[in-house]
Amino acid sequence: MFSEVEKKINQLSQQIEEHNYNYYVLAKPTISDFEFDKLLEELIKNEKEHPEFLKPNSPSQRVGGQITKEFKTVKHKYPMLSLGNTYSEIDLADFDERIKKGLHNDYEYVCELKYDGVAIGLTYKNGILIQAVTRGDGEKGDDVTTNVKTIKSIPLKLHGTDYPEEFEIRGEIFMPRKVFDEINNEREEIGDQLLANPRNAAAGTLKMQDSSVVAKRNLDCCLYAVLGENLPYNTHYDSLMAAKAWGFKISNYMEKVADSAGILKFINHWDKERNNLAFDIDGVVLKINSFEQQRILGFTAKSPRWAISYKFKTQRVSTILESIVYQVGRTGAITPVANLKPVLLAGTTVKRASLHNADIIEKLDVRLGDTVFVEKGGEIIPKIIGVDETMRHSNSHKVTYITHCPECATALVRDEAQANHYCPNELGCPPQVKGKIEHFVSRKALNIDSLGSETIAQLYDAGLIKNIADLYQLKKEDLLKLDRMAEKSANNLLAGLEASKNIPFESVLYGIGIRHIGETTAKKIAYYFKNIVALQNATLEQLLEVGDIGEKTAQTIIAYFADQRCVEIIEKLKSFGLRFQLSEEQLVNTSNKLKDLTFVISGTFSKFSRDDLKKTIEQNGGKNVASISGKTSYLIAGDNMGPEKLKKAEKLAVKIISEDDLINMIE
C-alpha cells in the first residue's frame, strides 16, 4: 500500500519528468519556468520531510551535489568500436561496392549526423537508468553515472512498458553552442582561459568531480544505437523509433536512403546547413539498416563493416591580409585581429579573422599584404591557417608585436602560463574598467538589470563613473543629462542600485571581480571566511585550506587586497551599505568543526534528506565524497545502506557513525 505522501512524491516526480521531457527532448514546454520550479520545490520539500521515499532516480537528483573523487573503470559489455572514415565521393563509392559484394540482395542505409561530442553508453534495467560509461579505450570506460543523471534530456525512468528488461543505448553527449558561448562569456569576465571548443568542453564537464557544476552546464545527449540480447526489432531505424517512444532524444535529422545518390544528397545538404544547427557536427554516419544484414557483414578488428563515417571537408579560401588591429578585452587580454580583403567562405562574407596571440603570428610568419589561407572548420570564427609564400612581396617585413596597450598606453605583460599579452592597468584601462562595471551589475553578481552596457559606456565617457563604487554616487540630475535617458529609466537605475544593497555577500564578492573567482568559488570563500575582513587578512595557507582554491587563485586574492586602490573601492562600497558579511541567517548552521574531514553518506536518514546532510557537512567545513577510500574520515550510515559500502568501510577501518553522531559533532 502506498501512503499519501509516497503517492504525492511519485505523482510529482512523474509530472516533473514529463515537463523535463517536453522541454529538453521535444523542445515544447507546456508550463512556465516558474511553475516548473514550484513543482520541483514541492517535490524536494516532500522528500526532505520523508527521506524514506527519496529514490535514486528522482528528478530532484538532477540538480546534482554528489562528488566523484575518482571515476570507477568499468568493462563494456559490448566493446565500443569506432567507425571507418571517408573523405570523398570515391571512398563512399568503394564502401557501397563492398556492401553490395557482401550482401547479394537489396539493402537500405540510414544516414545520420555525426555529433561532435563524447560517446556514452547508458544501461537501463527494468526501465531505470543504472549506469553511464564513457568510451575509454573501447574495452573499458569510466563510470560517470552521477554526472550523466544531471543531463535533463536523458530519461532516468523510461516511458511506457514495452522496453527490453535490460539493454544498453549509445549516443553522444554534447554541449550546445549557445551554452558553450555563455560559459566562455562568463570565463572571459573573470579572466579565466577560454574553453577551446564545445567538444572539449563537454568532455571536461563530464569528468568534473562536482555534479552540481555539471548540472549547471546544460549538456545534452542524442542517442544513436540500441544494443541488447534478443531485441524485438529487425532494423536499426525501428529500434531508434522505439527508443524515441521510451523517452530518449533521437536525432530529428535521420533519413533512410536506398543508394549512393541518396547518401550524397544527404551529405551535401548537411555540409551546407551544419552552421545553422544548435550543436557541432563533423560529418555524417551511414549505417546499414537491417540488423540481419549488419550481422552478415560483421566487424573488422576495429570497426563495423556495415557502417562508415564521412567527414566534412573544411572550407578554405585565400585572400589578402590588409591590416592587423589589437583588441583589448574586458579582462585586459590582447587579441590580434586580422582585417582581410572581404571574401566569400561557406556562405558568409569574411572580413576579419582572429590571429589569437603573438606566438601564432610568429609561427605563421604572416606579414601585411600577404595572401593568406582562411579556413572555417567546425568553429564559427574563421582562422588563418597559412601564408601563400609564392605571392609574397619582396619588400614585406615581419610583424612587430605591440609592446603597449592601444587603449591606455600601459606597457603590456605576458606571464609564462598565458598565451596572450595583457594590459595590467586593470583599474585605469577604459575597456577593462567598463568590463568590470558590466560584470559587477550582471545577473549573478549585483543583478542591476536597469544598467546596460551602453549606459555604462555613456556614464564612463561622461566621466561620471571611474569604478564600481562611483555607481552609488550617481545623482538623478547627472543621469538625466545623458542621451536617451528619460525620467523613468533614471528612476529604475537608481532603484536597481538601491536594491543591490540587499544582495548577499557571496554575490558581492563575485561581483567585485577578483580574477579567477567565479560564482562557485566566491560562494565557497564567503562561507569559509564569513566576512571580507577575514578574507582580507587571510594568509596563503589559510586560502589554500578552502576547498578547490589553488595556488594561482590564492595569490591573485592576496595581490588584490594588497592593492590600496582595491581596498579603497571596497571601503566605499561598504559605506554605501553593500553586504560584506554573511547574514545572521547564513551564519547560523555554519562552523569549521568538520574541517579536514571527509564523509561518505549511504542510505536514507530520518532527520535530514541526503542533500541536506551534505549541505550541513559543507557548511561546517567538511567535504563529501562519493566512494570510500583509506582517506575517508567517516561513513555516515543510514537506513538501507549499501552492503558493499559497509564491507569496504570495515575493511579500510573507516569509522562508521549515525546521523545523530554527526549532529553531536557539530553542536
Q: Does the protein bind ligand IVH through residue 136 (CB under 6 A)?
A: no
Q: Does the protein bind ligand IVH through residue 168 (CB under 6 A)?
A: no
Q: Which is nearer to ligand IVH, 49 or 139 (CB)?
A: 139
Q: Which is nearer to ligand IVH, 117 or 382 (CB)?
A: 117
Find the residue with minimal CB distance to ligand IVH: 119
Pair type for strands 118-125 and 281-288: unpaired
Query: Which run of H or of E encompasses 111?
Result: strand 109-115
Which of 136, 304, 369, 430 binds ligand IVH (CB under 6 A)? It is: 304
Shortest Å, Cβ 251 to ligand IVH:
7
First to last CA, the chain: 39
144: closest CA among 56, 68, 224?
68
Shortest Å, Cβ 305 to ligand IVH:
10
For the record, the C-alpha cell of 219 comes out as 549538456
Q: Does the protein bind ligand IVH through residue 82 (CB under 6 A)?
A: yes
For the record, the C-alpha cell of 439 comes out as 560584470
Q: Which is nearer to ligand IVH, 288 or 471 (CB)?
A: 288
For the record, the C-alpha cell of 29 comes out as 514546454
Q: Within 10 A of 657 (CB to CB), how many other CB atoms are there?
A: 16
Which of 25, 154, 225, 649 binds ligand IVH (CB under 6 A)? It is: 225
Which is it for the CA torsion 349, 352, 356, 358, positive or negative?
positive
Q: Which is nearer to ligand IVH, 82 or 589 (CB)?
A: 82
Residue of 100, 114, 272, 376 marked catalytic? 114
Size of the site for ligand IVH (CB under 6 A): 15
Q: Does the protein bind ligand IVH through residue 310 (CB under 6 A)?
A: no
Write phi, then psi, for 655 (nearest 5 degrees).
Answer: -65, 135
Map residues 42-81 to x or -, x wherever contact with ligand IVH holds by CB under 6 A.
Answer: ---------------------------------------x
Q: Which is nearer to ligand IVH, 84 or 603 (CB)?
A: 84
Q: Are 305 and 102 in contact (CB under 8 A)?
A: yes
Q: Does the protein bind ligand IVH through residue 634 (CB under 6 A)?
A: no
For the record, the C-alpha cell of 462 comes out as 561622461
Name residue 141's beta-bridge partners.
74
Query: Which run of H or of E encompasses 281?
Result: strand 281-288
Shortest Å, Cβ 220 to ligand IVH:
13
114 is catalytic: yes
Which of 148, 267, 285, 594 binds ligand IVH (CB under 6 A)? It is: 285
For the record, the C-alpha cell of 381 comes out as 570564427
Shortest Å, Cβ 335 to ligand IVH:
32
Which of 112, 189, 370, 611 binds ligand IVH (CB under 6 A)? It is: 112
Q: Does the protein bind ligand IVH through residue 528 (CB under 6 A)?
A: no
Shortest Å, Cβ 377 to ligand IVH:
17
DSSP SS3 for 630 = coil
Q: Within 10 A of 446 (CB to CB), how many other CB atoms are there?
A: 26
Name residue 299's beta-bridge partners.
304
- Which bin fits 577, alpha (ψ -120 to 50), beta or left (φ > 0)? left
- One-letter amino acid at 432 equals Q
DSSP secondary structure of 545-613: HSTT--HHHHHHHHHHHH-HHHHHHHHHHHHTT---B--HHHHTT--STTTT-EEEEESB-SSS-HHHH
**CA geometry: angle 193, 197, 203, nearest 5 deg:** 95
Which of 95, 115, 163, 440 binds ligand IVH (CB under 6 A)? It is: 115
Q: Does the protein bind ligand IVH through residue 224 (CB under 6 A)?
A: yes
Shortest Å, Cβ 294 to ligand IVH:
10
Q: Which is nearer to ligand IVH, 83 or 360 (CB)?
A: 83
Q: For residues 206 and 122, what is the distance between their CA atoms, to the nearest angstrom? A: 14
Q: Write the CB contacts of 550 (distance below 8 Å, at least 6 apart in sequence).
A: 544
Which of 307, 490, 509, 600 binds ligand IVH (CB under 6 A)? It is: 307
DSSP secondary structure of 35-64: HHHHHHHHHHHHHHH-GGG--TT-GGGGG-
Task: Restricting to residues 502-521, name those near ligand IVH by CB under 6 A.
Answer: none
Which of 5, 31, 39, 83 binds ligand IVH (CB under 6 A)? It is: 83
Q: Does the protein bind ligand IVH through residue 119 (CB under 6 A)?
A: yes
Interface stretch with ligand IVH, choices 303-311, 528-536, 599-607, 650-658 (CB under 6 A): 303-311
Interface stretch with ligand IVH, choices 18-26, 108-116, 159-167, 538-546 (CB under 6 A): 108-116
Q: Which is nearer to ligand IVH, 288 or 345 (CB)?
A: 288
Shortest Å, Cβ 287 to ligand IVH:
7
Shortest Å, Cβ 421 to ligand IVH:
38
Q: How many CA atoms lie within 13 A of 221 on its CB side?
A: 29
Write phi, then psi, for 249 (nearest 5 degrees).
Answer: -85, 115
Shortest Å, Cβ 493 to ligand IVH:
48
Task: Restricting to residues 170-189, name those near ligand IVH by CB under 6 A.
Answer: 172
Shortest Å, Cβ 79 to ligand IVH:
9
Which of the residues are catalytic?
A: 114
The binding site for ligand IVH (CB under 6 A) comprises: 81-83, 112, 114-115, 119, 135, 172, 224-225, 285, 304, 307, 309
